[in-house]
Amino acid sequence: MQETLKQLETEAIAKVEAASSLKEVNDIRVQYLGKKGPITEVLRGMGKLSAEERPKMGALANEVREQIANAIAEKNEQLEAEEVKKKLASQTIDVTLPASPIKMGARHPLTIVVEDIEDLFIGMGYTVEEGPEVETDYYNFEALNLPKEHPARDMQDSFYITEDTLMRTQTSPVQARTLEKYKGQGPVKIICPGKVYRRDSDDATHSHQFMQIEGLVVDHNISMSDLKGTLETVARKMFGEDRDIRLRPSFFPFTEPSVEVDVSCFKCGGKGCSVCKGTGWIEILGAGMVHPNVLKMSGFDPDTYQGFAFGMGVERIAMLKYGIDDIRHFYTNDMRFTKQFKQD
C-alpha cells in the first residue's frame, strides 16, 4: 500500500510538471485528488490494515495528497504568470502613434453676440445683471409704466402662467428689479441679457422665444447725447468702425422721449441694397430716456436723477452680422449651422 501511494505521488507530480495549461492541471487535480481518485481508493482499503499500521498509512496518504496539491498550486501560479506575460506581450501599446484630434465645439452665434456686447459694456464700467424668466406681472409690466388695462400691453402677447405670473416678455423687468436694489442712489450702469417669450407663430422672422439685451444708466445730468454716444459705440463695435446712426422718434411706455435707432448699412455703406431695402439704413434697436414714472416707482427721485435705456433683439443683430435669413436656425440645433461659427 505504501508503495502504491508513493508511486501515485511520483506519477501525479510528473504529470503536473509536464502540464502546459491551467485546464490540464485542473484535470490532473480531479483525477488524483477527487473523491473517485486512486488515493481515496487506497484509503478505502485501510480497513484491512492492523490498528498499528492504520494511522501511519493515514498520515502517509495525507502527506501524498499535500505534496500533489502543492505541486498543483505551484504549477498554477507559474502558468498564470506566463499567461499574464503573454497577454502583455500581445497587447503592447505603440506610444508613437499620433493621438486622434479632439473635436472642438463652436460657440452659438447668439452667445458670440451677447458676449461681444457684454465685453464692450463691461469695459465701459457697466455690470451684467440677470433676473428670472418666470416673472410677476408687476415687474414685467406695472413697474415699467404699463398698468393693467394699458393698451400697449397688447403689443406683447404674453404666455401667462397664472393671473399674476408670466414668461417675461422683455428683459426690462431686470432693470426694475435692479433699480429697486439701489434704493434711490445712483449711479446705475447695467446691461441685462436674457431669453424672453412672446405668443408669436414661429416663422422666418418670428420666434416665440428669443433673446434681448438691454442697457440702463441712471445718474445725475444724463441726457440724450449720452445715449447717442453710447449707441454709436455699440453700432460701431457690432457693424464696423465707419458706421453712423440716426435716431427716429418712436413710442415705448417706459421711456420718454423714445427713439428707434438705425445704423448706416454695413453692406452698401448707405447707397441702398437688399439688406437695407434700398434705404441705406437698418433698424437695430429701441431706446429712450427713462420715463419719470419708472424712476419714481423704483424709488428714484426724477427731479434729481435721469436715465437712458436701450434694448435690442440679439437674433436680429446676429442675423444682420452673419447674413442669416431665418431666425429658426438659432433654435433647431443643426450642427451644420452652428459649426460655421467655429473660432480658431
Taking the C-alpha atoms of residue 127 and residue 30, their distance in angstroms, rounded to an integer, is 81
72 Cβ contact partners less than 8 Å away, ≥ 6 residues apart: 16, 25, 28, 29
* Secondary structure string (H, E, C) spanning 249-294: EEEECCEEEEEEEEEECCCCCCCCCCCCCCCCEEEEEEEEEECHHH
Q: Which of 254, 179, 252 is nearest to 218 (CA)?
A: 179
Write the interaction track for Zn ion spanning residues 169-208; mark x where CB under 5 A is met and - where it is not: ----------------------------------------
* Of positions 276, 285, 295, 319, contacts Zn ion by CB under 5 A: 276
Does the protein bind Zn ion through residue 267 (CB under 5 A)? yes
CA distance 245 to 276: 13
Q: Which residue is nearest to Zn ion (CB)?
A: 265
Q: Does 265 participate in binding Zn ion (rule CB under 5 A)?
A: yes
Cβ 281 to Zn ion shortest distance, Å: 8
Please give the size of the binding site for Zn ion, defined by CB under 5 A.
6
CB nearer to Zn ion: give 257 or 272.
272
Residue closest to 67 by CA, chosen among 12, 21, 23, 18: 12
User: Between residues 170 and 264, which has the closer beta carbon with respect to Zn ion?
Assistant: 264
For residue 331, how many other CB atoms are within 10 A of its CB?
14
Q: In angstroms, rounded to a whole number, what is the distance separating the alpha carbons of residues 307 and 285?
A: 17
Binding status of residue 283 toward Zn ion by CB under 5 A? no
Cβ(283)–Cβ(260) below 8 Å: yes
Window of 57-65, 143-151, 222-230, 271-279 that interacts with Zn ion by CB under 5 A: 271-279
Q: How far apart are the C-alpha atoms of 148 and 154, rounded to whole Å?
A: 11
Binds Zn ion (CB under 5 A): choice among 120, 268, 297, 324: 268
**Of 200 and 260, which CB lies nearer to Zn ion in the complex structure?**
260
Residue-wise burial string across 181-202, b where 16 or more C-beta atoms lie within 10 A, e elsewhere:
eeeeebebbbbbbbebbbeeee
Distance, CA of 59 to CA of 61 (rounded, Å): 5
- Rank residues 143 and 265 by Cβ distance to Zn ion and give the closer one: 265
Q: Judged by CB, which is closer to Zn ion: 5, or 265?
A: 265
Q: Which stretch binds Zn ion (CB under 5 A): 19-27, 42-50, 222-230, 268-276?
A: 268-276
Rounded to whole angstroms, the Cα distance separating 311 from 286 reads 6
CB-wise, 59 or 275, nearer to Zn ion? 275
Binding residue for Zn ion, selected from 60, 79, 112, 273, defined by CB under 5 A: 273
Distance CA 84, CA 88 (A): 6
324 makes contact with Zn ion (CB under 5 A): no
Shortest separation between residue 276's beta carbon and Zn ion, angstroms: 3
User: Is position 256 annotated in a ligand binding site?
Assistant: yes
Which range, of 91-99, 144-152, 270-278, 285-293, touches Zn ion by CB under 5 A? 270-278
Q: Closer CB to Zn ion, residue 224 or residue 324? A: 324
Q: Name the binding residues.
A: 256
In the complex, the residues that contact Zn ion under the rule CB under 5 A are: 265, 267-268, 273, 275-276
Q: Name the binding residues for Mg(2+).
A: 256
